[in-house]
Amino acid sequence: MGQELILLWKSVDMTDTMLKRVLFVEDDPDIQTVARMALEAVGGFTVLGCSSGTEALERVEAFAPDLILLDVMMPGMDGLETLRSLRLLPVAEAVPVVFMTAKVQAQEVSRYREAGAVDVIAKPFDPMTLPATVRTIWSRLQS
């Protein structure tokens, strides 16, 4: 019985259990509400929503996210500038960032990756599959 329990434990995918805290930066309140509800209710994540890059920079240290979902087009500080500023903070310098944007042409996605994004989620997104998409990205990063 002991060996069966060990084998069962080893077959469980432990990578998904490590992703718990998601910082979501989005200036559109409707998109922020829908995504947050999906990530929390369907995905089981703890989510901190921020409405701007400036707010994200102010709150990232206290929240200590495992992953950051970042809108590209925001007034004031856009997503690329926010990412550059996040990388200067010790608490966020190595946190994976995934851009969420409607601008997903090949050259744009290439630019996001060159800036340090690990992936891009296209808008509009399906709220019911968003948590699974985030988990897939996370799992790929863990392997």
Which pLDDT tens digit goes with each residue over 59-103? 999 999 999 999 999 999 999 999 999 999 999 999 999 999 999
Q: What mean pLDDT is reported for the chain?
A: 90
Nearest to 66 by CA among 49, 38, 45: 45
pLDDT digits (tens, 9 = 90+) for 27-39: 999 999 999 999 9
Is residue 2 assigned to a domain? no
Residue 7 included in any domain: no
For residue 137, being part of any structural domain is answered with yes
pLDDT digits (tens, 9 = 90+) for 97-119: 999 999 999 999 999 999 999 99
Number of domains into which the chain is organized: 1
In a domain, 6, yes or no: no
Containing domain of residue 42, as a range?
18-142
Mark residue 117 as left, alpha or beta (left: phi above 0; alpha: psi -120 to 50; beta: remaining). beta
Q: What is the pTM of this model?
A: 0.87
| Structural domain includes residue 37 | yes
Residue 112 CA to residue 125 CA, distance in Å, equals 18
In a domain, 10, yes or no: no
Residue 15 pLDDT grade (very low, low, confident, very high; cuts 50, 70, 90):
very low
Q: Tell me if 1 sits within 8 A of 96, measured CB to CB.
A: no
Is residue 54, in this structure, part of any structural domain at all? Answer: yes
**CATH assignment at residue 50:** 3.40.50.2300
